[in-house]
């Protein structure tokens, strides 16, 4: 294994480790002490543990995940299987180990639902971003996404996990468990999507100017960004116009506006958020990416 590959692998597993430990810590801190329903296999583990305390939640998750990982190997390949096994094992161990050393006390249920959902969402986002899962419904969502690629991971998990949240509520005999669990799942889905998709701060600018060549050359030379020239026509004047299309990073928005204003104070500039930008200078396309 050459140095760049080794470095990328170590970086990948570092973030999986951080996410997995954070997952176990957040679950133990906010969910069981406050009887908040949690979705997925972990939620089922909550139900089993409520009736059979001798069966730890983490151990239950490990055992139930075996057939799911067989499917993961078949449809998603070896990298996801190995990294997900590592994440699942570490997060499951963390869920069982933290209560042995830390005494997590109950708190305000709404605070626990929001903070717990946010931390779990952050943990899942870190793990998913490295091409891994924590097993269970996370892996199910990853498999379903192969067919429903347009659905975000957060929303996919939200749909799958809500049924389990209701089951957990029935096990605890408390409707508030389901309601707070629903809040936690919504927050979790939002933060997961924010980590996976919302941190892509790319922008797209449309520039209508009387100085297209000067602005194009300046953007290429000063901002090191490509420019596409579109041919348009003024709706009122009927004059032919050149519209410059440029994709750039969030940090370049101020230099771009300054540059356009300096070269053509009368230029018409539109800046839009770009959900994903793939290509030279940005992210690369991945066939099985999230």
Per-residue pLDDT reduced to its tens digit, 136-145:
776 777 777 6
Residue 271: predicted pLDDT = 87
Mean pLDDT along residues 32-56 = 78
137 vs 65: CA distance, rounded Å? 9
Mean pLDDT along residues 199-218 = 84
Per-residue pLDDT reduced to its tens digit, 164-196:
777 767 776 777 877 888 899 889 888 988 887
Asked if pLDDT for residue 67 goes beyond 80, the answer is: no
**What domains, with CATH codes, occur in the chain?**
3-198 (no CATH), 202-273 (3.30.70.120)
227 vs 171: CA distance, rounded Å? 59
CA-to-CA separations, 222 to 119, 204, 216, 262, 279, in angstroms, rounded: 40, 17, 10, 13, 20
Contact residues for 42 (Cβ-Cβ < 8 A; gap 6+): 27, 57, 61, 95, 136
């Amino acid at each position: 294994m050459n140095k760049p590959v080794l470095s990328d692998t170590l970086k990948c597993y570092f973030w999986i480790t951080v996410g997995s430990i954070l997952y176990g810590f957040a679950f133990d801190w906010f969910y069981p002490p406050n009887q908040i329903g949690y979705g997925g296999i972990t939620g089922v583990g909550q139900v089993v543990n409520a009736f059979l305390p001798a069966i730890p939640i983490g151990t239950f998750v490990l055992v139930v995940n075996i057939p799911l990982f067989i499917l993961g190997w078949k449809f998603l390949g070896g990298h996801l299987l190995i990294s997900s096994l590592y994440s699942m094992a570490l997060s499951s161990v963390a869920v069982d180990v933290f209560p042995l050393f830390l005494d997590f006390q109950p708190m305000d249920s709404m605070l626990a639902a929001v903070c717990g959902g946010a931390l779990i969402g952050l943990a899942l986002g870190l793990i998913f971003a490295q091409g891994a899962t924590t097993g269970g419904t996370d892996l199910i969502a990853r498999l379903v996404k192969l067919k429903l690629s347009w659905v975000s991971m957060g929303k996919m998990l939200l749909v799958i996990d809500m049924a389990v949240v209701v089951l957990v509520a029935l096990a605890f005999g408390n409707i508030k468990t389901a309601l707070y669990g629903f809040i936690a799942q919504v927050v979790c889905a939002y933060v997961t999507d924010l980590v996976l998709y919302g941190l892509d701060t790319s922008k797209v600018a449309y520039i209508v100017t009387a100085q297209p060549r000067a602005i194009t050359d300046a953007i290429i030379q000063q901002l090191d960004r490509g420019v596409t020239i579109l041919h348009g026509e003024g709706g009122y004047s009927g004059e032919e116009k050149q519209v410059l299309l440029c994709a750039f990073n969030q940090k370049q928005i101020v230099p771009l506006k300054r540059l356009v204003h300096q070269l053509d104070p009368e230029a018409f500039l539109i800046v839009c958020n770009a959900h994903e930008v793939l290509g030279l200078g940005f992210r690369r396309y991945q066939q099985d990416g999230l």
